[in-house]
Structure 1
Amino acid sequence: MSRKREHGFGIDIGGSGIKGAPVDLTSGKLAADRIRIPTPQPSTPEAVAGTVAEILDAFDWKGSFGCTFPAVVQHGITRTAANVDASWVDCDAGSVLRKVTGRDALLVNDADAAGVAEVEFGAAGAASGVVLLATLGTGIGTAVISHGHLVPNTELGHLEIDGHDAESRAADSAREREDLSWEEWGGRLTRYFQHVENLLWPDLIVVGGGVSKKFDKWSPYVSTRTPMVPAKLLNEAGIIGAALLAHD
């Protein structure tokens, strides 16, 4: 995808912290050190939007911006809420962000933003066809990009496999909770990814989340027909993807 050398701005909203920075949309790198502010408690839409405005003001950013959120996002409306206040459910959050910040805002699911960033600037840069990003953390977040186009809000971490919600067995939190060895956890990931493969037939699987930094420890125990690689952009992926989607 060709574009002029421009800057965008990305915000990444999480249950414990909100971080943001300007992004160089040619290189896919942060154009300045990011700022992180603890998520306000209670984390209502208005309170969170106020923190977002604080980050934008800190960089004197006047233009539009992209913003990730840990939820299903349909046309600016947050349909779910993970690790944030329940008042986000069915909230017109895009409008709240625009009203409080005074800037145009694009709200997007956090895994979707990370997936777009990895395809454009990260581990999936040379991939063609269908790319699946799966973030392995407290839960399993997913993003599906088909021939460069995002298919939003794929909640594939919640597939029912063997009578269980998939992420309750295969997320990194399950590994820690049950004190699983890398090999034991790899077996569960194999079951999960092979199931997803049979539904999507992806050309590449990119694994994100903090545990992706330990890819060499557990990946030998995961068997898939699809090539699997660790994410490259890590904690900056959401910011970069949000800025890119808002710009486009």
Structure 2
Amino acid sequence: MQIFGVDIGGSGIKGAPVDLDRGDLAEMRHKVLTPVPATPDGVADGVKQVVEHFGWTGPVGLTFPGVVTDGSTIRTAANVDKSWIDTDARALFSERLGGLPVTVVNDADAAGVAEMHFGAGKESSGTVILLTFGTGIGSALFVDGVLVPNTELGHLELNGHDAEKRASSKAKEDGDLTWEHWAHRVQKYLAHVEMLFSPDLFIIGGGVSRKSAKFLHFIEGIKAEVVPAQLQNNAGIVGAAMRAVTEH
């Protein structure tokens, strides 16, 4: 069975048909740059480009980098334009896609659902936290396989700063940090999250997951197991498609 998934990020909008039997992309994903500013209209146009690239005419699952309530209403917009707040995202995207059925979910929650079903969290019990490191830091919290939605742990305060301003991939790039220097920042962040939630497993997702050999060995002193996401940066696309199936 195939469903289309789109992952909206602070820097890029990427999508592809997803083979839900395998938990993998059915075709090579297509990506466009997230517009600047990332307004609702601009992002919706980008999503339309990605979906039309494949000539897709069925249900579409989309992720959004912020809190999504009731499967539609945007409540936060840390890394996109603030005009997103209170937008009815489902209505916006469905209208732009010519009336196709649309599902919208928090981006890290989507990635987490995919990793728990097909990837690094498969068959894991207890408390599992997936963290996506990209333009910001997204989080997905699971207790015995059940998602606690919209946790947004990237916005925890760490040493007087919003954590994602110090430990996201963008912070690494902006500060021209070495992998080791950045890993020490990530370690401090993981220690803070661990103090609050005592997870059994951390899954490190986002674009950096495919480069885990460059930094994971620098992270020490964390009691929980720390592993890279197996679906890597495709987890959001897969999770978005999975959510679309459950709602349509």
TM-score of the alignment, normalized to the shorter chain, above 0.5: yes
Alignment match, 1:81: 77
Q: Any stretches of 5+ residues in structure 1 without a counterpart? A: 1-5
Alignment match, 1:232: 230
Question: Residue 15 of structure 1 contacts residue 82 of structure 1 at CA under 8 Å; is this kept in 2?
Answer: no
Identify the range of structure 1 (56-65 vs 72-81) with the bigger mean alpha-carbon deviation.
56-65
- String of CA shifts for 1:38-97, please: whole Å, max 9, x gaps: 334554323432443343344343332210111211121112224433321211111111
Q: CA deviation at 1:35?
A: 2.2
TM-score (structure 2 length as normaliser) = 0.87
Alignment match, 1:104: 101
Q: Distance in 2 between matches of 1:174 and 1:198?
A: 23
Q: Secondary structure at the match of 1:63?
A: coil
Residue type matched to 1:156 in 2? L
Alignment match, 1:38: 33
Q: Any stretches of 5+ residues in structure 2 without a counterpart? A: none
Query: Which of 43, 57, 62 is residue 57 of structure 2 equivalent to?
Result: 62
Q: CA deviation at 1:237?
A: 1.1
Q: Distance in 1 between matches of 2:80 and 2:189?
A: 27
Matched, 1:9 2:7: no
Say if 1:82 and 1:168 are closer, same or farther in 2 by CA, change over 3 A.
closer
Matched, 1:246 2:241: no
Q: Secondary structure at the match of 2:238?
A: helix
Alignment of 1:158-237 (within 5 A): 158-222=155-219, 223-237=221-235
Question: Residue 124 of structure 2 contacts residue 145 of structure 2 at CA under 8 Å; is this kept in 1?
Answer: no
Residue type matched to 1:217 in 2? K
- String of CA shifts for 1:183-227, please: whole Å, max 9, x gaps: 443333222112211221212100012322332332223221000
TM-score (structure 1 length as normaliser) = 0.87
Taking only aligned residues, the RMSD between alpha carbons, in angstroms, comes to 2.2
Question: Residue 8 of structure 1 contacts residue 65 of structure 1 at CA under 8 Å; is this kept in 2?
Answer: yes
Q: Distance in 1 between matches of 2:164 and 2:210?
A: 19
- String of CA shifts for 1:92-118, please: whole Å, max 9, x gaps: 111111222201211111111111111
| Amino-acid identity (%) | 53
Q: Distance in 1 between matches of 2:50 and 2:177?
A: 39
Counting matched residue pairs gives: 243
Q: Distance in 1 between matches of 2:52 and 2:180?
A: 47
Q: CA deviation at 1:180?
A: 4.0
Q: Distance in 2 between matches of 1:111 and 1:28?
A: 16
Q: CA deviation at 1:243?
A: 0.2
Alignment match, 1:154: 151
